Structure 1
Amino acid sequence: MVEKGCCPVHCLVSDKDSDNKFALVILNQPLEPQRGILKNLWSKALFKACADGAANRLHDLSDHEDPKNTCDFIPNIITGDFDSAKPEILEFYKKKGSEIVPTPDQDETDFTKCLREVLKRMSGQLDSIVSLGSFGGRLDHVCANFNTLYLAQTFTEMPITLLSETSLAMLLPKGKHKLQVNTGFEADWCGLIPLGMPCLHVTTTGLKWNLDDQPLEFGKVISTSNTYDGSGTVTIENDSAIVWTMGIKCQQ
Structure 2
Amino acid sequence: MTSNGTNGTIGEMVKMLCDPMCSTPKQSQQTCCTVKCWKWDVTQITMNKLIHDIKYGILILNRPITQNYGFMNNLWNRASIRMTVDGGTRQWDKYISAFPKEMQNTMKDPDLISGDFDSITDEILEKYKKKGCKVIHTPDQDRTDFTKALIELNVHRKQIGVELSHIIAIAQTSGRFDQIIANVQTLFLVKEELLLDANTNVFIISDDSISWLLLPGDHVIYIPEETRLHKRAWCSLVPVGDTCQHVTTTGLKWNLDNQQLRFGGIVSTSNTFDGSEKVTVKCSHSLIWSMRLPMISIL
Q: Structure 2 length normalisation: TM-score?
A: 0.78
Q: CA deviation at 1:90?
A: 1.1
**Pick from 279, 285, 290: which aligns with 1:245?**
290
Indicate whether 1:122 and 2:163 are aligned. Answer: no
Q: Is the 8 Å Cα contact of residues 86 and 118 (structure 2) preserved in structure 1?
A: yes
Deviations along 1:134-167, whole A, 9 cap, x unmatched? 4111111111001100111122332110111222
> What SS does the corresponding residue of 1:38 show, helix, strand or coil?
helix
2:239/2:263 contact within 8 Å kept? yes
Distance 1:140 1:62, change over 3 A: same
Q: After the TM superposition, which segments of 4 or more aligned residues of structure 1 sit over 6 Å from their partners?
A: none
Say whether residues 1:159 and 2:201 are aligned partners: yes
Q: Deviations over 1:62-88 (max 9, x none)?
A: 339976442445111000011111111
Q: Verify the 8 A CA contact 1:199 1:238 in the aligned structure 2.
A: yes
The answer to whether residue 122 in structure 2 is matched with residue 87 in structure 1 is yes
1:34 is aligned, of 43, 67, 83, to 67
The corresponding residue for 1:209 is 254
Partner of 1:198: 243
What is the Cα deviation at residue 17 of structure 1?
Answer: 6.7
User: How far apart in 2 are the matches of 1:91 and 1:21?
Assistant: 29
Alignment of 1:51-66 (within 5 A): 51-63=85-97
1:140 to 170, 178, 182: 178
Letter of the structure 2 residue corresponding to residue 220 of structure 1: G
Contact 2:234 2:271 in 1 (8 A): yes
Shift of 1:230: 1.5
Residue 5 of structure 1 deviates from its aligned partner by 2.9
The total of aligned residue pairs comes to 251
Aligned-residue offset at 1:174: 0.7
Partner of residue 45 from structure 1, selected from 53, 65, 79 = 79
The SS at the match of 2:270 is: strand
Structure (1 or 2) with the larger CA radius of gyration = 2
One-letter amino acid matched to 1:129: I
| Range that drifts further, 150-159 or 137-146 | 150-159
TM-score (norm 1): 0.91
| Structure 2 CA distance for partners of 1:164 and 1:9, relative to 1, 3 Å | farther
Aligned to 2:53: 19
Partner of 2:34: none
Which amino acid in 2 is paired with 1:57?
Q
Q: Secondary structure at the match of 1:245?
A: strand
TM-fit CA distance, 1:182: 2.9
Q: Is the Cα–Cα contact under 8 Å of residues 84 and 114 in structure 2 kept in the other structure?
A: yes
Seen in structure 2, the aligned counterparts of structure 1 residues 91 and 182 have a Cα distance that, compared at 3 Å, is same
Give the distance between the partners of 1:206 and 1:191, measured in 2 at CA. Answer: 13
Q: Output the CA distance in 2 between the equivalents of 1:66 and 1:180.
A: 36
Query: Helix, strand or coil for the counterpart of 2:92?
Result: helix
8 Å CA contact 2:43–2:224 kept in 1: the answer is no
In structure 1, stretches of 5+ residues that fail to align are none
- Assess, with a 3 A threshold, how the Cα gap between structure 1 residues 89 and 229 changes in structure 2: closer, same or farther: same
Percent of residue pairs identical? 36
Q: 1:131 aligns to what SS in structure 2?
A: strand
Equivalent in 135, 143, 153 of residue 108 of structure 1:
143
Mind listing any 5+ residue stretches in structure 2 that lack a counterpart? 1-10, 14-37
> Do 1:173 and 1:242's aligned partners in 2 also have CA atoms closer than 8 Å?
yes
**Residue identity opposite 2:80 in structure 1:** L
